[in-house]
C-alpha cells in the first residue's frame, strides 16, 4: 500500500506561526501596541495632573549661569501638556516597557514632579523667620496607574491578539 500526504497546508501554517512568533517578540511591534493601548492612560494622566500657578522663582545660582534675571519666574501651568508616553527597552525577559509621566527635557516642567507627588516639608525664610508654606503630596501618577491599569492590560492583549490573528489569516 502506498499512501501520499499533502503537507503544504501544514507547512504554510508552520511558516505563519513562525512569523507570528517573531512578530510578537519584535520591539517595534510591541512598542506600537503599547503606545496604542496607552492612549487612554495618557488622557487620564492629563486629567489627573495638577496645573501649577507659575510662580516658582529661578534661583540666583542658575540665573547667573544661564543669563536669566534673578527676579524671573519659571513658566508654570504647563505640566498637563508635558505629560507623555515613552517606550523603552524592557528588563529581563520583557521586550519593551511603556513609561507614562511628565517630560523632563529642557523647557519642560518634569523637574518638579517629585515635589508634587511626594510633597515638601514646612519651609521658613532665614531672616526674619517667617512661614513660607509647604506643598501637600498629590500622587497623581499612582492614581492614574490604579485607575487605568486593568483597562490597559485588556487593550494591550486585544491589540496584540488582533495583530497575530491578522498574520495567521493572511494567505502565504
Place of cell 513660607: 132
Residues ≥6 apart with Cβ < 8 Å to 18:
none
**Candidate ranges 101-110, 132-141, 162-171; pick with highest mean pLDDT:** 132-141
- Cβ atoms 77, 49 nearer than 8 A: no
Please give the mean pLDDT across all residues of the chain.
76
Q: Which pLDDT belongs to residue 39?
A: 92
Paired strand residues for 141? none
Quickly state the pLDDT bin for 71 (edges 50, 70, 90): low
Vertex 110, ends 105 and 116: CA angle to 5°?
170
Q: Which pLDDT belongs to residue 31?
A: 86
Set of cell numbers at residue 57: 522663582
Direct distance between the N- and C-terminal alpha carbons of the chain, in angstroms, rounded to an integer = 33
Q: Which pLDDT belongs to residue 70?
A: 54
Quickly state the pLDDT bin for 40 (edges 50, 70, 90): very high
Q: Which pLDDT belongs to residue 164?
A: 79
The percent of residues in the chain predicted with pLDDT above 90, rounded, is 8
pLDDT, mean of residues 111-129: 78
Residues ≥6 apart with Cβ < 8 Å to 83:
42, 45, 46, 49, 100, 101, 102, 103
> How many other CB atoms sit within 10 Å of the CB of residue 109?
22
What's this model's pTM, rounded to 2 decimal places? 0.68
pLDDT, mean of residues 140-144: 88
Cα R_g (the chain), whole angstroms? 25
Q: Which pLDDT belongs to residue 146?
A: 92
In the predicted structure, residue 65 carries a pLDDT above the cut 60: no
Lowest mean pLDDT among 55-69, 81-95, 155-169: 55-69
pLDDT, mean of residues 27-40: 87
In the predicted structure, residue 111 carries a pLDDT above the cut 60: yes
Amino acid at each position: 500500500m502506498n499512501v501520499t500526504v499533502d503537507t503544504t497546508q501544514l507547512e504554510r501554517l508552520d511558516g505563519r506561526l513562525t512569523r507570528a512568533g517573531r512578530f510578537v517578540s519584535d520591539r517595534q511591534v510591541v512598542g506600537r501596541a503599547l503606545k496604542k493601548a496607552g492612549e487612554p492612560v495618557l488622557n487620564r494622566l492629563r486629567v489627573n495632573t495638577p496645573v501649577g500657578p507659575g510662580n516658582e522663582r529661578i534661583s540666583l545660582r542658575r540665573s547667573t549661569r544661564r543669563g536669566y534675571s534673578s527676579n524671573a519666574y519659571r513658566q508654570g501651568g504647563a505640566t498637563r501638556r508635558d505629560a507623555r508616553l515613552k517606550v523603552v527597552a524592557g528588563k529581563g525577559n520583557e521586550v519593551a516597557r511603556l513609561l507614562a509621566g511628565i517630560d523632563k527635557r529642557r523647557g519642560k516642567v518634569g523637574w518638579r514632579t517629585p515635589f508634587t507627588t511626594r510633597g515638601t516639608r514646612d519651609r521658613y525664610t532665614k531672616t526674619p523667620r517667617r512661614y513660607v508654606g509647604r506643598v501637600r503630596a498629590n500622587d497623581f501618577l499612582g492614581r492614574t496607574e490604579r485607575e487605568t491599569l486593568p483597562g490597559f492590560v485588556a487593550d494591550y492583549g486585544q491589540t496584540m491578539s488582533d495583530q497575530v490573528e491578522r498574520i495567521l489569516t493572511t494567505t502565504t
